[in-house]
Amino acid sequence: MTNITEKTAPNVSIGADTEQPSQKSTANIITTEDENFKSFEEIQREMIRMMDPSYLKTVSMTELYDTVYKSKPPLIDSLLYPGTYIFAGAPKLGKSFLMAQLAYYVSTGTSLWNYTVRKGTALYLALEDDYRRLQERLYRMFGTESADNLYFSVSASQIGKGLDEQLQGFVTEHPDTKLIIIDTLQKVREVGGDNYSYANDYEIINRIKKFTDRYGICVLIVHHTRKQNADDKFDMISGTTALLGAADGGFILQKEKRTSNNATLEVSGRDQPDQKLHLVRNTETLLWELERVETELWKEPPEPLLEKVAAFITADNAEWCGSPTDLVEVLGIDMKANTLSMKLNINAGRLFNEYGICYENKRCHDGRRVSLALEQRDDA
């Protein structure tokens, strides 16, 4: 067993879907390099197969369990994750104030309603506003406490006609970007005869989703709701069901009375618990404040293996490297080495998120090598 000198940290999420396994260690990701030591002829045959139009790429269940997939931490714990989300509500309800609040809190790392927020650059496309109105609104909400990494724009191109390149350029210039808000969808979609078709709505959201999945960020798309009520509040989103269907989740902001300062925020996502939050608007600052949460969040049950690892990797023993069999022995557990590897592969994100321990599993010439390291998380 030897100590390791370099480690990177996995990003963790229960939010947006993650499909591609990571192949290289990067600044915030632990990955698995599964080198099969294939010959040139084997690689060539595989490439020829993949070029066949009838080729269908598949992954076995064993391969799934044998891989550490790239995952990302939430922007706001239990509330907002990397991915593409629809944020809908009636006009003049206070959506833009809540969007400015979210952008400011992410850019400063300020806790929102007792939810932990991870600091990062935010871009707010306030396409129904002008800079004067933004200035007045922000001053009323936050006073003179400015944020250097919160950016605004009141004009942008349409999706498929320049917006994609504009967003890519911003993220390239600001690699720590975590949140982009598009306010509103109608300002960046093409106006046309089939504008509200299912296929068109799906393509618009799917295009943005590819962007968020590529860069591991969150894009909130502000949209309006219909006037007609519905049993399922998310059916009130204007347009076809493809908007929410293609997105990773949605938010619905509603008031019982337009003149009221009370509102409900309903949250639904692919891999996050549905929630209903009761909010009240501060009449002086116009900030939205949490009154109560109607839905109790589900918590994952404890994983004994992770607790064992956390007890082993401490400040006094911050790094370890060895085979899965070695790790079974040092942890003193009754478990097969391959079972331990699978459990840690699957729970690598949780191991980092809950205990700040980075996990790496590599296939080397002499077998599997597991590395563990205690890291200071960048969101701490």
Give the per-residue pLDDT at 43.
Answer: 82
- Average pLDDT on 369-379 reads 76
Instruction: Kindly tell me if the per-residue pLDDT of 248 is higher than 60.
Output: yes
Tell me the pLDDT tens digit for each residue of 107-117. Answer: 999 999 989 99
Does residue 370 register a pLDDT over 80? yes
Averaged confidence pLDDT in the chain:
84
The answer to whether residue 171 scores a pLDDT higher than 90 is yes
CATH architecture entry for 301-380: Orthogonal Bundle (1.10)
Fold of the domain built from segment(s) 83-293: Rossmann fold (3.40.50)
Task: Determine the average pLDDT of the residues in 8-16.
Answer: 43
Strands (E) located in the chain: 83-89, 121-126, 150-153, 177-183, 218-224, 249-254, 262-269, 275-281, 288-293, 319-322, 357-364, 367-374
17-37 residue pLDDT tens: 444 444 333 333 334 444 445
What's the confidence (pLDDT) of residue 99? 96
Whether residue 177 is predicted with pLDDT greater than 60 in this model: the reply is: yes
Residue pLDDT, tens place only, 85-104: 999 998 888 999 999 999 99
Q: What is the predicted pLDDT for the residue at 191?
A: 64
Q: Where are the domains of the chain?
A: 83-293, 301-380
Separation of alpha carbons 224 and 239, rounded Å: 9
Note whether 83-293 and 301-380 share their fold.
no
Q: For the whole model, what pTM was predicted?
A: 0.77
> Tell me, what's the pLDDT at 273?
79
